[in-house]
Structure 1
Amino acid sequence: MLEIKRATLHDGKAAFEIRRNAILSQCIGDYTAEQMALWTRGAAEDGYSALLAKPFYLGWVNGEPVATGMFDLDNNEIGALFVLPDFTGRGYGKAMLEHLEQVARDLAIEEVVLDATLNAARFYRLCGYAGDEPAVYHSPSGLALACIPMKKRLSG
């Protein structure tokens, strides 16, 4: 079972490594090797840890961090949903997504948005998200990546 806890500033390195490993294993074929290398370069200390000031969560299995997820209050946006490769297919991504949606519901937010990576769009559709139009996500580091903007109306 996935135990979800609010991340602390000390969790930055673990969160960054989950992200890096997930991208490098799960985005093959949807993004070029060059894009993935640029997307995963650097270290948590290069600014990724700043995300932990937002509602950022780690999912734990037997004391090991295996999943991340974030809710951006400024934009009602779900992001940073990543699962370590050895832990995919076990429902941990869905559990984290449901947790983030509950965070939004607790704040009386009626609709959430996200930018799905190309490899994750099907997962989000299965979880009730709508959106098919391709767009370009511009990361804070300047990287441009194809994505699918999606949204979901939340019910109480």
Structure 2
Amino acid sequence: MIAKEISLRPANETDAWVLSAIHIAAIKALPETFYTQKELLAWRNNRNQPDGSNIFKNMKVESFWVAVEGDVVMGFASFFVDELIALYVHPKYQGRGIGRALVEHFCNEASDRGIDKVITTASLYAEGFYLRLGFTAIQKVPHYLRSGVVVPVTKMSKTLATAQETVYKDGIQ
């Protein structure tokens, strides 16, 4: 079987339910290492079945991008200007560079807009992932889930080279 190439594209409204399913599956796959079962359940909005309505609403203000192979959506990221809001990859596709590609896309979009620093709020599971991508931990803070449950997370940032700086660094003026 020939592996298809993974590509990124903007999410569309019909993707909302699939993104909800990915969100739920990714959280269900996490061990109770950093968060309790109750916290993990609250993090997935107390859902076992997808409900794309919140994602659909968020699509009106956030940029959503999906990683696809053929017509299969494997993961997604959402961001608003300089903040990466969500990043989820379905567990059966993790370890293939999909999360890295989505974060790099977000950073490139921000850099192209002249933004020199981006931020994200990382779960304790994802902190090491973001550190490997050049983010710096700022501080541990409480994160309030929709259900009112509070979980510890890490605020992180990354300094970017803007498009202008990249041009000068590469010797093109």
Structure 1 length-normalised TM: 0.91
1:60 to 64, 68, 80: 68
Q: How many aligned residue pairs are there?
A: 154
Q: Which ranges in structure 2 are unaligned for 5 or more consecutive residues?
A: 163-173
1:37-72, CA deviations, whole angstroms, 9 ceiling, x for partnerless residues? 122124434422212222111110232001110111
Q: Is 1:36 aligned to 2:40, yes or no?
A: yes
1:140 deviates by 4.2
1:26 to 26, 30, 41: 30
Percent of aligned pairs sharing the same letter? 24
Q: Is 1:6 aligned to 2:13, yes or no?
A: no
1:8 deviates by 1.0
1:47-98, CA deviations, whole angstroms, 9 ceiling, x for partnerless residues? 222122221111102320011101112xx21021010101111111001100
Q: Is 1:95 aligned to 2:98, yes or no?
A: no
CA distance in 2 between counterparts of 1:141 and 1:9 reads 25
Q: Is the 8 A contact 1:2 1:95 kept in 2?
A: no
For 2:57, the aligned partner's letter is A
Q: Which ranges in structure 1 are unaligned for 5 or more consecutive residues?
A: none
Q: Where do 1:72-83 residues align within 5 Å?
A: 72-73=80-81, 76-83=82-89
Partner of 2:113: 107
Which deviates more from structure 2 when the two are superposed, residues 26-35 or residues 4-13? 26-35
Partner of 2:54: 47
Compute the RMSD of aligned alpha carbons.
1.6
1:121 to 115, 127, 133: 127
Q: Secondary structure at the match of 1:133?
A: strand
Q: Which of these two proteins has the greater Rg computed from alpha carbons?
A: 2
Q: Is the 8 A contact 2:9 2:67 kept in 1?
A: yes
| Stretches (4+) displaced over 6 A | none
1:139 deviates by 3.2
1:132 deviates by 5.2
Partner of 2:161: 155
Residues 106 and 44 of structure 1, relative CA distance in 2, 3 Å threshold: farther
1:129 deviates by 0.3
1:3-59, CA deviations, whole angstroms, 9 ceiling, x for partnerless residues? 111111111101111111111113531111111112212443442221222211111
Structure 2 length-normalised TM: 0.82
CA distance in 2 between counterparts of 1:107 and 1:67 reads 24
